[in-house]
Every structure is written in C-alpha cells, then in structure tokens.
Amino acid sequence: MSIGKQITERLQQLASGKSVLAELPANDVTHKRLVALEEPLQATIEFSDHDRYSLTLRALTVSAGDGAPDDARAYLSATAAEVARRLSFLEEPLAVWELDGGERTAQLRSSPPLRESDAVAYWEVTLWAGDEPGARAVRYHWSPSMAEREVLVYPATFALIARMADGLAAALRG
C-alpha cells in the first residue's frame, strides 16, 4: 500500500469520527497532527480543521528511514529535481532556491510565487539528507507590512494530500 493510500484511509477514518490523531504538545490546541506509516516511510500531516473530504493543511512532512546518503549534494540535487517534477501539479512550479551539501539541506520554492498586489504566496519544500532523509511542504504568505512570513493554511482535499505525499515519497526514494 502506498503512503498516499494510507493517508487517505486515515483521513477518511478521521472524517467518520474515529480518533486517529497523534498527540500534540499541551500548548498547541488549535493544530492537529495525523501520522501514517508505511515502512520505511512516515508521513505527518499538520492541519487545523477538516470535513468529510478536505482539511486546512499547515504542513506535510514525509521521511524515509533509509539512512543517510553517501553523497548528500548529489542526493539533494537529484531529489530536488524529482520533487519539482512530481509536484508539478501545484499552483506554481517549484524551483531549487538553495542547495547546501555541507548542511545536507535543499530548499525549493514556487517560481514565480503567486503575487497579489505587494503580497506573495508560495510553496516551500525543504529537503534534508540526514540519517532519515525527508521533505516538508508548507505554503507561506508574506507582504512588505509583515515582519516575517507566516504559514498560510491551505484548503486541500484528501486526494491532493495523498498525491503530494506519494510524490514526495517517490522523490525521496529515487
């Protein structure tokens, strides 16, 4: 079973009233977390609300417990290209923003971002090549009047989240 299929099943269980949420820290009552595990993959969905077919996504994280790659820079370069290809269905295409082999991280962002007046909204996918390689996708919002960017909750169907998770998982696994 793919990680996306497992996510869909767990989200459908959640929508039907079954408790499938992971525990959150006591001070975080507005966000929920759902974890799906398809060895060696793990997907974590952070969200704030849901209905029968969709939720308000804050972040999607997929990790692959395959161990650290030998050549982090080559792994990140290939994985970043694969993420951009596999997530091409998002609003804006993704492009490599930064790749740091020494830090074992890469960052992709919407290129170009969605612009509305002075404000921008964009996807950011962060990759890491540590002992447990992974990827985290988040939608952000920023405008000149803001001190820092903020997470933009994103209304997403269960099917879209499963597709994103499968795309990230396939890119991580090469």
The most distant pair of C-alpha atoms in the chain lies apart, rounded to whole Å, by 46
- pLDDT of 23 > 70? The answer is no
Give tens-digit pLDDT for 53-62: 999 999 999 9
pLDDT at 25 over 60: no
Distance, in Å, from the CA atom of 126 to the CA atom of 91, rounded to the nearest integer, reads 18
On the question of pLDDT at 70 being above 90, the answer is: no
C-alpha span between 23 and 44 (Å, rounded): 12
**Mean pLDDT, all residues of the chain:** 91
Q: What is the mean pLDDT of residues 97-111?
A: 93
DSSP 147: S
Burial of 99 (0-12, 13-18, 19+ CB in 10 A): middle
Q: Is the peptide bond between 112 and the residue preceding it cis, with omega within 30 degrees of 0?
A: yes
**Do 20 and 13 form a contact (C-beta atoms < 8 A)?**
yes
Q: pLDDT grade, residue 22 (50/70/90)?
A: low
Q: For 120-166, write each residue's pLDDT tens digit.
A: 999 999 999 988 999 999 999 999 999 999 999 999 999 999 999 99
Look at residue 21 in the predicted model and tell me its pLDDT. Answer: 67
- Residue 105 and residue 128: Cα distance in Å, rounded? 4
Q: What is the mean pLDDT of residues 95-117?
A: 93
